[in-house]
Amino acid sequence: MTAELFLIAPPGPLPEPILAAIRDVAARTEVAALLLPRRDLAENTYKTLVKAVVPAAQASGIAVLIEGEPGLVRMLGADGLHVSGSLAAVREAVSALKPDRIVGAAALGTRDDAMLKGEAGVDYILFGPLFGAIDPAQREMGRWWAQTMEIPSVLSDPGADLERYDAAGCEFIGLPLPVSGEQP
């Protein structure tokens, strides 16, 4: 089984490098999803970024996931919401967005955390960090999930790239969107 690509945009407020990277990657390979992390961007700056990126990514057949409140998904035309927070936040997102939109959750610790979020009705569980190095225990938890559970898993490996990655049996591999140049 080959993992589908789940790209993670770098932090930063500028859409142009992200748009260029989307065009480049989409011309070379199929991409299932793009996550636009909010990090420390101000709300209006983040909304501007999302509004610029969503139409271009969707035109390339890429589902766009954002972070934040469920209401932002519909307002900004995104395909879904990625929730890194609590089980209550996951449940709120599922209640507000399903079945029309995608809801995914990060498993930030234990198998129990992942299972509870999965039982809440998410479309995927993400294992590993969005930025930084993946811990071997996170990789192993992603492998375990993929072998055991029906809900798709995303293994986020920020240190890997499009040519070299190990999805550990997960259905999706989370890789950094290869953006040229620095984002402030």
Query: What CATH number is given for 4-176 in this structure?
Result: 3.20.20.70
pTM of the model: 0.95
Please report, for the chain, the start and end positions of each structural domain, with discontinuous segments joined by +: 4-176
Interval 122-156: pLDDT, tens = 999 999 999 999 999 999 999 999 999 999 999 99
Q: How confident is the model at residue 108 (pLDDT cuts 50, 70, 90)?
A: confident
- Average pLDDT, stretch 94-102? 98
Q: Does the structure show a pLDDT above 80 at 158?
A: yes
Q: How far apart are CA 177 and CA 8, in angstroms?
A: 5
